[in-house]
Amino acid sequence: MSKKAKLSHYDEAGGARMVDVTAKPVTPRTARAHAFVKIRKSVLARLPDNPKGNPLEVARLAGVMAAKRTSELIPLCHPLPLSHADVKVTVEKDGVRIEATASTAARTGVEMEALTAAAVAALTVYDMTKALDKSIEITHVYLLEKTGGKSGGFRRSTR
């Protein structure tokens, strides 16, 4: 963080506060976030036979619902009128990759909505498969990219 950067969720006395975005212009904003659920191959093979239903579809829907309720979960997060939220869930050899997107036209960004969607989708995969394996790991929850706003765009560099 540069010397000029200042955390805006604190008032002059150091107390937590919701940032006033009234004066900011309404602009289009998007965000994409990622999560990975590390699952044993034997559990992955049993996903289609899950007695609770299709864990991937339930996780996708849970992620979309979570994006819409982010401000109820994160105390200082602004409620946003989402114009779009989506979650893609892909089975890979070591687990399930989740990518969540959120879009709006608002005074503040949708990074938290995308991150919340990815995290809740990952938690839902865990919930739907925990009877088969308690050692499932949720890893690599992070922002992939964002657009819009005063700070402009961000894209995570690939290493």
Report the catalytic residues. Answer: 127
- Strands across the sheet containing 95-106: 82-92, 95-106, 27-38, 137-147, 154-155
Do 123 and 138 touch, CB atoms closer than 8 A?
Answer: yes
Residue 109: count of CB within 10 angstroms of its CB = 24
Rounded Cα distance between 53 and 105, Å, is 35
Report which of 149, 8, 146 is spatially closest to residue 77, judged by C-alpha positions: 8
